[in-house]
Amino acid sequence: MNDDADIWEALYTTRAMRRMRPDPVPLDVQARIMDAAVRAPSGGDAQPWRFLLVDDPEVKARLAAPYRESVAMLWRGHYADQVAAAAADPESETSRRFVRLQASVQYLADHFEDVPLLLFAFTRNDRDGGSIFPAVWSAMLAARAQGVGSALTNVLDIFRPDTTRAVLGVPPDRGWDLKATVALGYPRGRWGVAPRRPAHEVTFRNGWGEPAGFTADAPLWPR
Ligand SMILES: Cc1cc2nc3c(=O)[nH]c(=O)nc-3n(C[C@H](O)[C@H](O)[C@H](O)COP(=O)(O)O)c2cc1C
């Protein structure tokens, strides 16, 4: 089956794909992902990035425990209220949505060492990540264009940055900050359009709160 996507399909169907087949991502596919990624914009065209690809099972295995610890900290910290709310009222739509997300996030954590390819994105002099995330997203779109799924994560850079840097041999004194870890692999599931709050509800025109001038109740792709 041909899973290649054009730009519109890639924009609409690049979801968080956390369940992946074990098949490796061929080097020529990886080359196209990275070659597309480095076309991305960055402030002053500084291109303040280094990317580190990991497909060595030993390296992945050394990062699996820190990744799982990080996700555990996420549930105990940032998402503690939502975990408690979902337990208190499991039937509500909000709870169901959260529990689905939690199960998917936890699945990736539980299978971290089985992810075929990991992409670590580093930047420097770029505190808010504005000069690295366009390249990361381009990599994810270029992956999608070739039928490769991806999941953007940042728990390692939040909770275990030093361990991750040590495992990956990142020089400690050159200012490289880990900003994202992207899991890459051929998906087990199917591609689908990401459900989101409609564009016209979050878009204003000429003044805050003013109507956007268009409505898009249903996704405009496919036409
Ligand atoms: C800045 C950022 C950090 C994220 N961190 C994680 C993460 O640590 N673990 C994870 O499984 N997903 C992570 N995600 C993925 C989001 O959960 C996902 O994009 C969101 O739930 C929408 O998913 P969907 O496109 O499949 O609807 C992150 C996404 C972004 C943009």
DSSP symbols for 72-86: HHHHHTTTHHHHHHH
Q: Per-residue pLDDT tens for 163-198?
A: 999 999 999 999 999 999 999 999 999 999 999 999
Q: Give residue 223's pLDDT band: very low, low, confident or very high (50, 70, 90).
A: confident
Cβ pair 117, 60 in contact under 8 A:
no
The pTM of this model reads: 0.97
Residue 10 has pLDDT above 90, yes or no: yes
Contact 1, 163 (CB under 8 A): no
- Which CATH code fits 7-192? 3.40.109.10
Q: How far apart are CA 126 and CA 135, in angstroms?
A: 13
Q: How confident is the model at residue 148 (pLDDT cuts 50, 70, 90)?
A: very high
Per-residue pLDDT band for 2 (boundaries 50, 70, 90) equals: low
Q: Could you tell me the residue ranges of all domains in the chain?
A: 7-192
Instruction: Please name the residue whose Cα sits nearest to atom 1 of ligand 1.
Output: 154
- Determine the average pLDDT of the residues in 13-31: 98
List, for residues 47-69, the tens digit of each pLDDT value.
Answer: 999 999 999 999 999 999 999 99
Q: Fill in the amino acid letter for 101.
A: L
Residue recorded with tokens 């996420």: 74
Ligand 1 atom with least separation from CA of 16 = 26
Share of residues in the chain with pLDDT > 90 (%): 97
Closest CA to 183 of 50, 71, 3, 16: 16
Binding pocket residue ranges, ligand 1, CB within 6 Å: 15-16, 18, 101, 105, 108, 151-155, 194
Indicate if the pLDDT at residue 75 is higher than 60. Answer: yes
Residue nearest atom 25 in ligand 1 by C-alpha distance:
15
